[in-house]
Structure 1
């Protein structure tokens, strides 16, 4: 066994300072036979639970929990300027569980009221919370070493006495020796200073009878990791590795040295080594794991406790929802209440029901349910969920099982614009110090690690980008499982990355190598989007807390120092308060309907049998409908043609990797193409709604009870065993199933077949409770889209206004639905998208990129107070130009919001205007001067007098010059997500009219049409459009490149996917903004093969587009060979012939001219061609043809 223990150790949770991964630390400590290991991260306990969990895998290494705290000698509440502020280090180790609780208090309080650049404690807090702690004097930044370095020996002596009096024999003076091999001054200085203070520290220890302890201030695991750690420090300080004079420089000796290395280092002071073992022996092992601890819900005095009150509320809800409480329902309720009481979760249910009730009272919309909680009748009766578990056959045991000693999983969806109100309610009810958010840790991913290292090494940006792009988005699967995209894994598949690692250029090779070592390091902290902790007492009695600023309010909020996966292990109640955009969209739609039609809709009372709604789903017109808007889902909906809510629930469950393979079989059974059969008659009532296909976990559970007599709890155990595929547990359950089934008189062969079927699908079976809850939300979305399309799409656009790509997608959907979307208008638009009296949607100013809420509110408020803006001058004179700054006005101009001021065109705002820059700048300055004069007059004692300045002169708009429409349109789309005023394809109107056979909407309708021609003849189609999106990736299995591009025309947009040689051939055309002419083959292909069928038994075919050729639309005319004009013989006068010859002569080219001479009297037509003229299709020629009304075709 080693004669040394590391007691001063920084893991990667000393963020951007420590580069030691916890598992690697334990692995090395165990290999060196070190009996213990401490964790002492800077100012936090982020890694403590992970540290203890990892320690369980290394039983020979005792874990010691500690922290190197920041200490303010003058008091943590004193916050001077940065130069005068003194912050020292102090190492604290928890001797026992009491010490751990006190360490929590110290570290948490440092964050709560001691943050000044760092979270700091002080002597006052130490006196209050020192019991059970061991204190060590720390490194050169420690309070004692700093006094010694300053030559303040008397103060240093008094300080040692103070710590000795407080901690007794649990106070130690640290010695560190970092004899560096580096020659840079700042690295060498560390060891110089350590040697300088060491004799004084030894003297002080002797004078006050304080023991010395040797430490190494560990920041990385191995000596070889020092260069990577050095780069991590440069990332933190934004410095260059090459800068030898940078302020922070480690010595490269701060690694987890072996016991032998430390023995050699401190050979002259062996007692300092022995002290490490003494300290380790003092530490008593303790666990942080505990049973759940719940807040106490206030119970009315008339009830004996939480159980009684929960029972009362449950039956009260049951009478309201079910009218009569049947014996069967009563038994179900009693079973659930008994389990809840047995597990001491009555308070939990009351807490959840209470804040959901409060949310509804505050008009915050709450979802119908989420996850397995919808399986509880008690939750339904309390209003926690809105899905009747009896009606849908949902199981309580799937939700709560006494054999699973964990909290019930009740996650709640709130409208995302009201979630904050609910959190505020919870804080007010239980106390702000009882409630906290949950921390998250952002780590260095592969690409960001490469970019970080490259930056501090001053690798050229272009080379850094090249290296980062070598990391693929996905890697080929391994053993049918996705591989993590790490540098280590990418090196196996990307030869260019391997070459970079072995490059002769040391900057390139070292960038990859050190990025590989640093990848996964914690880079920053964040706050979980939904997780909230509620405790029975001040949370710092249980877990360490930190603080951060709320992004919306700017106020400090409490945040746990343990991440979400570890919170429940320490017994804390973690709940997910999720913000669901769909609920906000539904609420907004209902408000739109009320405003426009004076109709009030109860969204939770909608009939689930509306025929037109299911027709919408059957047509796959579900863009903007919750869960059902992906291309793949819409394709299957058109095949399925759902007719009831159960069909939607099943599709929600099936449309996932794995079970998706069963969708064709499910569809065939629904439409009678495949016979529905059951292995046993009693299986029909459970599987009837899914046409004999086992889709849900609850079906397996119900059937195991029906067939083998399993109890509800045993059925849930079976469900979990199948999901986790544990062989031993599965074999035991199989024997129990066979035995139970045979006892019920069922043939063993049938039982074995059922078992095989179950095990094949059980890993994919879905939670029906969740599927039912979310499918009801989907139905509600579909219903509103069907019945109130404009109001619904306006709400969808408003809900996605901050995502320009989503706005663009939903604008396309409005176009398909023939809903006119009017552009933004400074006098008509609100913040959100609104519906006009004529049923059009008016673009909301909140959807314009670069225009924030404050600016929109200012514009609307000013408009409401003073009426519509008369012109741009009136706007500038009245609106708050601090809120509506130049950037905002620029966005409004490009979006067309000022187009109603017809005397000034968009591009004029950006033309030079006198010496004031462009016209927009002149307008800004003019408005500012007008407002300044108004303010002067308002503040003058007597108002405007004879000496008042004349009002500023309005700037004159610049003279018109030819505009560049492409640039303005590009800006318009950048601001609003779609072309509103005109379209870049407008200049190709001739090509689109004469060279294309279909538009994209027509193609989509053909592809969506399920009526199959027999036989279907392949045909050529020609499309034109603009490339609006390009992606590229590597194939998961082969690693070969592939890509997609989206083509947009006036009617719709469509994504094309290219692989292999097609991708390589057409890659040059896949450029954003390129106008293309695409020749395709419209053909049929096998849609799918049913499981177990041969290729010739493939199911129904589907139509597909296969690209054959791509041309630039701008070059399309070059391929023209002839023009044919239709002429009536009676119209061919001498004057006409003369004009025709002249126009042909003026436009010479290579195109052959044909005429079809039509004699209406004799009903004859003759085609001839001109031997003397070949032409070019110039605007002059086309204008003449159109002026004469001549019909023509081109080839």
Structure 2
């Protein structure tokens, strides 16, 4: 029987190290006929949701894993000089961990979270203690030459290698496999021999891997450039052979793997087949990725209170208050308000979003009661009368003819999305209230993944290739803006897409046609420019680095570490007196929504801070307590002033485009 499964593979989420795009990987795996594939990015689970979905949609079993950074000391130790890259790092070891089932996925998430929150030192690290505590449902492979047993085996130190094999076997038992690789590194051959001797003596299984870092064999040079970008040096500084050990570490077909290992040592066929054995230990489906049910925090602690009735009563009382304060339109019959309220409540309750409205109403009204300025409402949420009744917004949707279905559509069930503006100086107070209300470990910020865009990729690659800045800059400046502000044409469009297709896509824009022709002419006339463009094309779209979402907060019904992996932004944490405030989810906003978690946008708005200060100054100097909600919004003089375009400093009306309307 001939078969094999890749169990050691780095996608674009092994930041500036893995050059495999997940969509391309799924397509290639299907082409090769693989039945299963693993993801094992360095120290994180960023890409696991995308990977799971892509593999499933292509009929391939996804194996969720991670190449953990492992310290032989204590994870809280901060000793020695390590490095942010994996080449010059001489302190942190590696360990491949694969989830067999839901329990395994949860333990992977805990290990990765703990590595960032407790063990970060150059890299997110785990130690033996925490590994032993969260090993259930996991399979371990001893990794590459940075793996502990392999590291000592490569030095010919069988005794130390064996001692660590025993330690890992104490944790994983029959789910421990010694990892064998076939590459051009002499130390690997030494390690393989020692590991095979240990496997025979102590009845430990072994498995073959290819430590994939790029998709196709011809992508090696692009990957070397990526490594140079990571290390902030040029290829020339390293020498072309500096990354020679990556040669052959592509997503190889079964036939290639067979030839790589054929006859290398006794049991080489077993090493390939054991990868299939490992894949068969893994569940076909993982509920953590399949369960899309909504996971609302518990708003009401009292079990005997019906949340539907509670929301309805609050909305009724809120609308009564608005009516008593004359905050509804006199030109619309009151019955229309009550009919609209009952209709909206029915939709909200049928869709199961009662808790969502109560949660948002709670922290907004807390803010108002604690002198934290809150915006009147923005976006489609202003079309909800229930939101108006609960004081989530201060915009009467009937007065302004706003449509509720733009916000919540019974025919398109998706989580409501209410963006809330807070005074910039006091936004953190609201977040602290939410943490106290629902538990600090149930609230976190949200990660964002920043990808390599066309212009920056050209400049990064040119720098890494030792080219003059102007060469890349000329190309970058030719890339025109797309149809949406802030978007630009991709390198694929600039270099490969037929011009006729671009004209159909963007309209017959002369700037696009002219610039694309100039761009392609430059590439045709110079081999160096052609190499720059083609390498950049391979790297465009890879994840370059992570950051924190400017406004996003996730609120969970239980500690987030039980639901998703967590991340600590070490750069932000180092600037903060409370590093815990910088804990974020490893999944971005879109993936959290797919998992049914509640995310909120807490936007810090400078305009609200300024308005509040003006209000205080008017009160101090004129004795007038301005009520923004009672102002005359039909003041003719105000509209005449706005029409002059003299609106610098007026929120959302101060841009050049708005002033020139």
Q: Output the TM-score relative to the length of structure 2.
A: 0.87
**1:1142-1157 pair list within 5 angstroms:** none
2:224 counterpart residue number:
230
2:611 counterpart residue number:
586
2:508 counterpart residue number:
none
1:217 counterpart residue number:
211
Q: Is the CA contact 2:2–2:273 (under 8 Å) kept in the aligned structure 1?
A: no
1 CA distance for matches of 2:339 and 2:550? 39
User: Does 1:541 find its partner at 2:562?
Assistant: yes
2 CA distance for matches of 1:554 and 1:501? 50
Q: Deviations over 1:13-48 (max 9, x none)?
A: 100111111111111111111111111000001111
Q: Output the TM-score relative to the length of structure 1.
A: 0.49
2 CA distance for matches of 1:460 and 1:395? 55
1:260 counterpart residue number:
255
2:469 counterpart residue number:
461
Q: Deviations over 1:151-176 (max 9, x none)?
A: 44233223222322322221111100
Shift of residue 262, structure 1, vs aligned partner: 0.4
Q: 1:635 to 1:48 in 2, by over 3 A?
A: same
Q: Deviations over 1:766-818 (max 9, x none)?
A: xxxxxxxxxxxxxxxxxxxxxxxxxxxxxxxxxxxxxxxxxxxxxxxxxxxxx
Q: 1:351 aligns with which of 343, 349, 359?
A: 359
Q: 1:397 to 1:238 in 2, by over 3 A?
A: closer
Shift of residue 281, structure 1, vs aligned partner: 1.6
2:593 counterpart residue number:
568
Q: 1:309 to 1:4 in 2, by over 3 A?
A: same
Q: Is the CA contact 2:445–2:554 (under 8 Å) kept in the aligned structure 1?
A: yes
SS in 1 for 2:312: helix
SS in 2 for 1:257: coil
Shift of residue 592, structure 1, vs aligned partner: 3.6
SS in 1 for 2:124: strand
1:163 counterpart residue number:
168
Q: 1:220 to 1:534 in 2, by over 3 A?
A: same
Shift of residue 472, structure 1, vs aligned partner: 2.5
2:56 counterpart residue number:
56
2 CA distance for matches of 1:540 and 1:404? 30
Shift of residue 298, structure 1, vs aligned partner: 3.8
Mind listing any 5+ residue stretches in structure 1 that lack a counterpart? 180-190, 637-1195
2 CA distance for matches of 1:473 and 1:598? 54
SS in 2 for 1:115: coil
1:488 counterpart residue number:
492
1:625 counterpart residue number:
650
Q: Deviations over 1:624-651 (max 9, x none)?
A: 3333345554565xxxxxxxxxxxxxxx
1:389 counterpart residue number:
397
SS in 1 for 2:170: helix
Q: Deviations over 1:269-308 (max 9, x none)?
A: 111111111111221122414211011114568x724334
Q: 1:202 aligns with which of 196, 205, 208?
A: 196
**1:940-979 pair list within 5 angstroms:** none
Q: 1:517 to 1:588 in 2, by over 3 A?
A: same
1 CA distance for matches of 2:653 and 2:485? 26
2:519 counterpart residue number:
497
Shift of residue 620, structure 1, vs aligned partner: 4.2
Shift of residue 397, structure 1, vs aligned partner: 3.8
Q: 1:291 aligns with which of 262, 272, 293?
A: 293
2 CA distance for matches of 1:464 and 1:393? 51
Q: Deviations over 1:358-384 (max 9, x none)?
A: 222332211111222223222212111
Q: Deviations over 1:814-843 (max 9, x none)?
A: xxxxxxxxxxxxxxxxxxxxxxxxxxxxxx
User: Does 1:430 find its partner at 2:438?
Assistant: yes
2 CA distance for matches of 1:88 and 1:398? 52
2 CA distance for matches of 1:555 and 1:248? 39
SS in 2 for 1:69: strand
2 CA distance for matches of 1:244 and 1:419? 47
Shift of residue 149, structure 1, vs aligned partner: 2.9
Shift of residue 552, structure 1, vs aligned partner: 7.2
2:5 counterpart residue number:
5
Q: Is the CA contact 1:371–1:409 (under 8 Å) kept in the aligned structure 2?
A: no
1 CA distance for matches of 2:226 and 2:418? 41
SS in 2 for 1:392: coil
Q: 1:18 to 1:100 in 2, by over 3 A?
A: same
Q: Deviations over 1:210-231 (max 9, x none)?
A: 2211100000001111001001
SS in 2 for 1:575: strand
Q: Is the CA contact 2:480–2:488 (under 8 Å) kept in the aligned structure 1?
A: no
2 CA distance for matches of 1:307 and 1:299? 14
User: Does 1:473 find its partner at 2:480?
Assistant: yes
2 CA distance for matches of 1:124 and 1:286? 29
SS in 2 for 1:242: helix
1:73 counterpart residue number:
72
Q: Is the CA contact 1:172–1:212 (under 8 Å) kept in the aligned structure 2?
A: yes
2 CA distance for matches of 1:601 and 1:510? 64
Q: 1:630 to 1:466 in 2, by over 3 A?
A: closer
1:316 counterpart residue number:
317
Q: Is the CA contact 2:141–2:177 (under 8 Å) kept in the aligned structure 1?
A: yes
Q: 1:109 to 1:630 in 2, by over 3 A?
A: closer
Shift of residue 349, structure 1, vs aligned partner: 1.7
Q: Is the CA contact 1:500–1:512 (under 8 Å) kept in the aligned structure 2?
A: no
2 CA distance for matches of 1:171 and 1:540? 25
Q: 1:601 to 1:35 in 2, by over 3 A?
A: same
1:378 counterpart residue number:
386
User: Does 1:400 find its partner at 2:408?
Assistant: yes
1:141 counterpart residue number:
146
Q: Is the CA contact 2:10–2:212 (under 8 Å) kept in the aligned structure 1?
A: yes
Shift of residue 132, structure 1, vs aligned partner: 1.2
Shift of residue 348, structure 1, vs aligned partner: 1.8
1:1035 counterpart residue number:
none
Q: 1:555 aligns with which of 537, 554, 578?
A: 578
Q: Is the CA contact 1:136–1:173 (under 8 Å) kept in the aligned structure 2?
A: yes
Shift of residue 345, structure 1, vs aligned partner: 2.5
**1:880-919 pair list within 5 angstroms:** none
Q: Deviations over 1:175-234 (max 9, x none)?
A: 00113xxxxxxxxxxx10010111111111122222211100000001111001001101
The higher radius of gyration belongs to: 1
2 CA distance for matches of 1:484 and 1:203? 56
* RMSD of Structure 2 on Structure 1 (CA): 2.7
Q: 1:3 to 1:299 in 2, by over 3 A?
A: closer
**1:591-610 pair list within 5 angstroms:** 591-610=616-635
User: Does 1:511 find its partner at 2:511?
Assistant: no
SS in 2 for 1:459: coil
Q: Deviations over 1:397-432 (max 9, x none)?
A: 443344433222211111223222211221222222
Q: Is the CA contact 1:230–1:250 (under 8 Å) kept in the aligned structure 2?
A: no
Q: Is the CA contact 1:413–1:579 (under 8 Å) kept in the aligned structure 2?
A: yes
1 CA distance for matches of 2:271 and 2:302? 62
2 CA distance for matches of 1:168 and 1:552? 43
2 CA distance for matches of 1:30 and 1:369? 47
